[in-house]
Amino acid sequence: MLARVIPRVQHCRHLLFRQFRRNIGISAVLCQKTATKLDPIQQLFVEKIREYNNKSKTSGGLVDATDEDKKSLQEDLDKIARQYGADGADFTKFPTFSFSDPQLDPVGVDVEAKEEQEVESEETKEDEEDKPYWEP
């Protein structure tokens, strides 16, 4: 039995050490990347994202939109409002949902409270039915 267990333990040990070495190798690369500066392409991408963020905050709506773009958006929103009859709804915001559980009536179950005497009489009937026929 011990002869079967030892090779399995050694195999598990080998797998664990291999995984440990891989994790150290990956984390070393990640630590080096965070310590150095971003490459020029990444830096340009981050700058554009920040620039877009600033523009969107100042404009309050669409960024770099012409009057034609704004008019087209308003026409589309009006068309949707006419088609679906949603007057005054803001289609640019995510809808909010509120769910409530409906009250369900039990189907096919007629349960009424029994009196104690009825319960006791039913228990005695069950006891009598469970007795074997050869006992007096």
**Is the pLDDT higher at 97 or at 106?**
97
DSSP state for residue 63 in the 8-state scheme: T
**With contact defined as beta carbons under 8 Å apart, do 89 and 81 qualify?**
yes
Percent of the chain, pLDDT > 70?
62
**Is the pLDDT higher at 107 or at 81?**
81
Query: Which pLDDT does position 51 carry in this prediction?
Result: 93
Predicted model pTM: 0.34
Mean pLDDT of the chain, nearest integer? 76
Confidence bin at 85 (pLDDT 50/70/90):
confident
Q: How many other C-beta atoms are found inside a 10 Å radius of the C-beta of residue 58?
A: 8
Q: How many other C-beta atoms are found inside a 10 Å radius of the C-beta of residue 77?
A: 15
Query: Which pLDDT does position 120 carry in this prediction?
Result: 67
Dump pLDDT digits (tens) for 33-80. Answer: 555 566 889 889 999 999 999 988 888 778 888 889 989 988 988 888
